[in-house]
Structure 1
C-alpha cells in the first residue's frame, strides 16, 4: 500500500505541485546562461558584469526558497511516518527529497539549455562571425549550479523537524489531572513533566490558555519576528545611506567600488540591500498576522471571523513566505528605477524571482496544510455550504494582496531612497 501511495505522490514522483519548481529552475538557468553569453560576446565589458552577477542571485535564491518550501510539504506526514516505520530515518528521507528535487531542477534546466543554444545560433546565423565558443568546463558547472542549490535547499528543509498546528513550544507543559488521578482533583494542575507533542487547542486551532503555559503570541513569535525584521530593515537602510554615493561613509573610488555599476554602488550598499530584504522576510509573520487582525476588526461575521482566524493561525507557518513575496515584489520597482534601460535578462530575472516567491506562498506552512483540509471537512460536516470555503479564501486574498503591495512599495522606496 505504501508503494502505491508513493507511486501516486512521494519524493520520487512528479506531482503537479512541483511544476513551478520545474519552471523556476529553467528560468534561473536561462538567466545564468544569458549572463555568460553576454560576457563572452562583449569581453571588453566582462569586468563590469557585477550588476548582472548580483541580478542572478535573486532568482537563484528564490528558486532555492521554493524548493525548501516544497520539501516541507511533500511527501505528506502520513507517508513520512510510514517511511520511518520502514527504517528510513529523517536523514534518508531528506536525501531522497533533495535528490528528487535536484533531478527535477536538472530536468527544468535541459529545455533552458536547448532554448539558449537555439537562440544563440539563430542570432548569429545571419552574420559572418561565428559565436564565441562556450567554456567546456564553465558552462556545465554553471548549469549544474541550479540543481545543486535546489537539492541542498530541499534536503536541509526536509531534515528540519516538522511541527503541526498547536506545537512548537519547548517549554514544559503542565499535566491536567483527571478524575481518579492520584495527583489531585479533576482539573488540577499536576506539575510540569517533559514536553508532550501537542498542547490543548480550541475549535479554531488556537491554544487554550493553561496556567504556566506561555501565551500564543509568545510561542508563535509573530510580534518578535516583526520587531526583529524592522530592526534589520532599519539597519540596512542606515548602511545604504552611509555607503551610497555622496554619503558620509562612502569610500570613494578604489577597490571598494564595484565594477560596471554606473552609480558607483559599493559592497556596503549591496549589504544594506540584503539586510532590508532579509528583514522583510523576517517580518512576514507579523504582516500576515496584521491581515488577520484587519479581518477581525469591528464585529466580524462568520466568514470574516473564519478568514481572520485562519490568517492568525497561519502566520507562524506561512509568514516567511508572505514576507518573501513582499521582498521579491519590492525588487521589481527598485530595479526599474535604478536601471535606466532594463534588458531582457533583467526582466526575466525579476519575473522568475516574483514567480518563485508567489508559487511558494500557497504550498507554505508545512504540515499545517493537511490540518486545513481537516478543517474544511469539519465545516462540511457541520452543514456549511461548499461556497463558504471559496468565500473565505477570497477574503484572505482581498486583504493579503493590498498588504503585500503596500509593503513592497514601501521596501522599494527604502531601497532607492539614498539615490534620490
Structure 2
C-alpha cells in the first residue's frame, strides 16, 4: 500500500519511467504467452517451443535490468535522514523499492494478458478482435498454471533483482551504507574475466556456426555464445570506463581533462555495465543485419518485437544510469561552480567524456560484431 501511495505522489518523470517499465514488462509477458500458445498448438520438431522460450530470456533480462535502473533512480525509495526513526531504514527502503518494481511489472503483465486474450478472440468489444486467433492457438485451452507462472516471471525476477541491487551494504565496522561505496577508491575488477568471457562467447558462436549447414548456425549455440559475449562485455565495461578515465587524466592534464577523467573513474561502475550491454546489443544487431540477406526466410513479427524490447530497454537503462550518475555529481558540480568554474567548462567536460567513450567503444563493438558474424557467413 505504501508503494502505491508513493507511486501516486511521484514526479511525472518518475511516473514515466515506471510506465516504461510496465510497457517493457507487457512486451515480455506477451512474448511468453505467445510461446505458450505455440507449445500447446502441437509438436514442432523443426522449431521446438523450448528454443523459442530460450529466445525470450534476452528481452526478459533487458527488462529486468531496466527495472533495476529505474528503481535505483527513484527518489521515493532512497534512504533519508530521519526515516529510520519511523521504521523506514535502508533495509525497509530496499524492500519498498522491490515492491514498487513488482507493482510496475505486474501492471505490465496484466496488460499483456488482456491484449493476448483480445487477439485470441477471448475478449470482444474492441477493434482487432481475434485477428491473431490462428497464430495464438485460439482453439486450444491454455494451462492456467503455466499462464500464471509465465506472467509472474517478470514481477518476481524484477523485484528480486531490485532488492539485491539496492540492499544496504556494510563497512567492516558493521555500519550500514545508504548507497554504494566510493568508487574512486579502487578500480573495478572484472576486466580480465570480461575479456575472457567475450572471447569464449565469440568462439562458441564460431564453433556452432561451422558445425551446421546453412547460414545462422545452431540457434541454441548462437544464443549461448551471444549471452556469454553480453555477460563478458558487461563485466568488462566498468574496467574499460575506469581505464579511459585514468588515461584521459594522464600526461600533465589540464582542468578539463582532469575533471573528465576523474568523473569517468567515479562513474565506472554506474555506467560501465549498461555501456557493455549496449555494446553487446549493437554488435548483435550489426551481425544480424550482415546475415539478414543470407536467411532463406525473413524474421517474424515476434522476433522483431523481442529485438525492439532488447534495444529499447538497454538504451533506456543506459540513459537512466547516466541520470543517476548526474544526480550523484550534483554536490560536486555545485562546489565547482562556487569555486569559480564556468558552466561552459563543465559542459565541455561532459562532451569530452562522451567523445572518449564513443572513440573507445565504437571500434570494440564493430570488432566483436565482425568476429561473431564472420564464421556464420557462407
Matched, 1:310 2:275: no
TM-score (norm 1): 0.70
Shift in CA distance, 47/409, structure 1 to aligned 2, threshold 3 Å:
same
Q: What's the counterpart of residue 285 of structure 1?
A: 238
C-alpha RMSD of matched pairs (Å): 4.1
Is contact 1:331-1:412 (8 Å) kept? yes
Question: Aligned residue for 1:228?
Answer: 193
Q: How far apart are 1:353 and its partner, in Å?
A: 1.1
User: 1:157 corresponds to which residue?
Assistant: 165
The question of 1:146 aligning with 2:118 is answered no
Q: 1:84 to 1:332 in 2, by over 3 A?
A: farther
Does structure 2 retain, via aligned residues, the 8 Å contact 1:35–1:53? yes
Which of the numbers 352, 356, 372 marks the counterpart of 2:313?
356
Question: Within 2, Cα distance between the matches of 1:362 and 1:272?
Answer: 26
- 1:74 equivalent to 2:112? Answer no
- Whether 2:280 is the aligned partner of 1:323: answer no
Between Structure 1 and Structure 2, the one with more helix by share is 2
Aligned length: 358
> Which residue, out of 315, 337, 351, partners 1:380?
337
Equivalents in 2 of 1:406, 1:119: separation in Å? Answer: 43
2:303 maps to 346
**Superposed CA offset, 1:102-134 (max 9, x none):** 111122233333444444443755999993345
Offset at residue 100 of structure 1 (A) = 1.2
Deviation at 1:296, TM superposition (A): 4.2
- Note the C-alpha offset of 1:45: 5.9
Which residue of the partner structure matches residue 396 of structure 1? 353
> Hey, what's the Cα distance between the residues in 2 that align with 1:412 and 1:78?
39
Distance 1:240 1:263, change over 3 A: closer
Cα distance between partner residues in 2 of 1:231 and 1:395: 29
Instruction: Go from structure 1 to structure 2 and tell me whether the alpha carbon gap of 1:38 and 1:132 turns closer, same or farther (over 3 Å shift).
Output: same
Deviations 1:376-416 (A, max 9, x none): 21233234444444443333333334444333322223333
Residue 272 of structure 1: how far off its partner (Å): 3.5
Counterparts of 1:88 and 1:242 in 2: how far apart (Å)? 53
User: 1:8 and 1:312 mapped to 2: Cα distance?
Assistant: 35
8 Å contact 2:119–2:131 — kept in the other structure? no
1-side partners of 2:300 and 2:359: how far apart? 29
- Residues 126/143 of structure 1: CA separation in 2 closer, same or farther (3 Å cut): closer
Instruction: State the SS of the aligned residue for 1:79.
Output: coil
Specify the structure having the higher radius of gyration (Cα). Answer: 1
Residue correspondence of structure 1 range 67-216 to structure 2 within 5 A: 67-75=67-75, 79-121=79-121, 122=128, 124-125=130-131, 131-137=138-144, 138-161=146-169, 216=185
Query: TM-score if structure 2 supplies the norm length?
Result: 0.76
Q: Deviations over 1:46-79 (max 9, x none)?
A: 8523443222110101111122233334347863
Q: Classify the secondary structure of the residue corresponding to 2:30.
A: helix
